[in-house]
Structure 1
Amino acid sequence: MSAPARRGRTSVRRSDIPAAGPVRRLSGAGSVLSAILDHGPVARSTVARLTGLSPASVTGHTGRLMARGLVRESEESTGPKGLGRPHIPLEIDTSRHVVAGAHIAVAHSTVSLMDLRGRILAEDRQPHRGTDAQRILDDLATRLPRLVRAHAAGQAVLALGVATGHRVDPETGVVIEHPQLGWRDVPVRDVLAAATGLQVQVDSHARALARAEQMLGEATTRASTVLLFVGAVVDAAFATAGAMHLGRGGERGSSAARVGRVRRCRAVLVRAEGVLAVRGVGARHGAASRRTGAPTRRSRTMSQPRAPFGRCRTAPDFTAPA
């Protein structure tokens, strides 16, 4: 599946684009980035109308996003037939960063790279050589820098998103239980963050796919979504009013069951893992810009302490040579 088509460079100041409803629960920076992703190249005044933020707030958020290399200014544009005051439109900057994704299936794992518009740049799929969690995670951490060196053309990896089946706690990045792999209480986020030096976001298959639809899919699907994943496991996720719902302890609201593997669109899942990575960076950027110190609500409290899980290598350099 290819990324949604983006608008051309004409008419960057758009009065025909309706203001977005409250379907994405985003920070100010996140809502600005989302508006630019959907409609860019787009004028700051249009971003302000789409997000409901003041022009001063939009200017502040875009300045920080530009400083991080997530957004850039494109060519100056004027109104129809050269009328009106020139505007410098904003667009997603795909020249400086990529995001990485990892899919841990029952029989194989896939590592992928995606640009910030959701376009898949490269992927590497390999069968498991056993189901030991440490071995599989070490293998992912080893393959990722090779993929970056081969395909990222001097760009830096912004973050890593990981998706797998069964019970996953996205708040702690722990795979609570994966019976087919024999995993229980595996701290995937901490292991991969230590091994790669990247920000890591971990979630279930279905929630990763649903979040991809919220970020990159049709606007009409974002407010309320039900998604069913059928593969080596059966998984489901649903969102209402733009909020993804979690069951007790990371459960999905329906049980995971072993079924025969079926063909599915791997490109969609690769994009979903990349979305997890971008979402994690966006959340951290919003928190850093607000600096409120307010406590965040957790969907699950890990009552049992986690035992140490293996040893991690030093973080590799994820900036590929030009």
Structure 2
Amino acid sequence: MTRSPIITVSRGRFSSTATQVLEQVRTAGRASRDEIAAATGLSIATVGRTAALLVERGLLRERPDLARPGATGRPGVPVEIDADHYVTIGVHVGRRIATVALGDLTGRVLASTTVRRPLGAEPDLEQLSREAATLLGSHPGRVPLAAGLVAPWREIGLVPSERETELHELTGLPVRTGDHISAVAAAEFLHRRQGRGSTGGLTLYLYARDTFGWSVAVDRGVQTDVTRAASLTHFPTGADVPCTCGRSGCLAVAVDVLPAVERARTLGAMAGSVRDMLSPDQVVLVGQAFTGDPGLLDVIVTAYEEHTALDHRVPVSFTRFGSDIQAISACTVALGPVLDDPLACVELTGVEADGACRPGA
């Protein structure tokens, strides 16, 4: 069955207790058992049992040194993601470059490598799997839990479900796929949300670099999904630049040839127009076409504000990620199977948190 192109980045109360506890700790950065219970609605006893199991399996670790003054017993002892045992493998396939990365369970990239590939060629997932094995060899003791495979699927003419199966057969890991723009949006959402809790609402992510498009994170507080990406390649800009589609002024060709300041104005105007169509609660601009020249960020924002017709102002910001966004987005997608069922992922490895083999594995 073809997997939905929507990326679930927050599962909330609709998920297992292990997922709820792990997600709450990941969002807060660190939390005590009583804080987790208050945030999730789970009982203290349930949170206590679940947290103990996640600590035993090496997914969480206790921080008694950070217990609140006067707190007694384990309910007041904070736990945090244990970033020292497990990793995910992120694979990003671009038009000319493929990126392979290792990420910890907080989503931080530990190591990455890039491989050039011929334009239009089929991705060599066997080679990329070997690159992943090499990265794992440089991080002894790390156990992979899942893999993420990200690409601009439509632009490079590949079927994600076929590549997902191939990478699973090569690695033996649960594999999750994601469209490039949606994966970037998921990474942005998760890293912005960490430590702040849920703010709710709809966030529009506009991406402009080698591909052009938008995706939306719909945060309901109890669950958050990132929609499939929509293309902006042929968004009309009014520029007098011919496009291969037979029309003139399409965004992708205009951005390639316009002078820097005019390009910044064009991107800002496009962002304002798309904002009006979707009426989000906030807008995040991602990709080096937006961020490549820091001196022109104000030009983009001014054009954005001039080309929005809606009365209420919507805050606009720029990505916090640079050239490593491919590795980060792929590792973010790889967290999907872990967050879906963290204990099952660990069981599949057959390895205890201390590195010993689990009986029967």
Q: Same fold (TM over 0.5)?
A: yes
The structure with the largest alpha-carbon Rg is: 2
Matches within 5 A, 1:1-322: 24-26=10-12, 27=15, 28-75=17-64, 78-80=67-69, 83-86=70-73, 87-129=76-118, 131-133=120-122, 135-150=123-138, 152-166=139-153, 177-178=154-155, 181-184=156-159, 187-218=162-193, 219=196, 223-240=201-218, 241=220, 242-244=223-225, 246=227, 252-255=229-232, 260=256, 262=289, 265-285=322-342
CA distance, structure 2, for counterparts of residue 185 and residue 84 of structure 1: 50
C-alpha distance in structure 2 between counterparts of 1:114 and 1:285, whole Å = 15
| 5+ residue gaps, structure 1 | 1-22, 167-176, 289-320
Gap change, CA 1:41 and 1:103, over 3 Å in 2: same
Give the conservation status (yes or no) of the 8 Å contact 2:83–2:105: yes
d(CA) in 2 for partners of 1:153, 1:58: 32
Q: Deviations over 1:60-116 (max 9, x none)?
A: 332332243211222255543xx3424332111112111121111111100011222
- Residues 98-107 or 220-229, more deviating: 220-229
| TM-score normalized with structure 2 length | 0.61
TM-score by length of 1: 0.67
Amino acid at match of 1:62: A
Q: 1:208 to 1:184 in 2, by over 3 A?
A: closer
- 1:151-172 per-residue CA deviation (whole Å, 9 max, x = no partner) reads x232111211121114xxxxxx
Alpha-carbon deviations, 1:160-191, whole Å to 9, x = none?
1121114xxxxxxxxxx33xx34356611100
Amino acid at match of 2:330: E
Q: What CA RMSD, in Å, does the superposition of the two structures yield over aligned residues?
A: 2.9
1:6 match: none
Following superposition, the deviation at residue 221 of structure 1 comes to: 6.1
Task: Give, in angstroms, the shift of residue 283 of structure 1.
Answer: 0.8
In structure 1, distance between residues paired with 2:332 and 2:160: 24
Deviation at 1:196, TM superposition (A): 1.0
% identity of equivalent residues: 26
Query: 1:85 is matched by which residue type in structure 2?
Result: T
Q: Please give the alpha-carbon distance, in whole angstroms, between the structure 2 residues aligned to 1:243 and 1:78.
A: 30
Q: Say which structure is richer in helix.
A: 2
Local SS of the residue matching 2:324: helix
Amino acid aligned to 1:100: I
User: One-letter code of the match for 2:213?
Assistant: D
Q: 1:79 to 1:203 in 2, by over 3 A?
A: closer
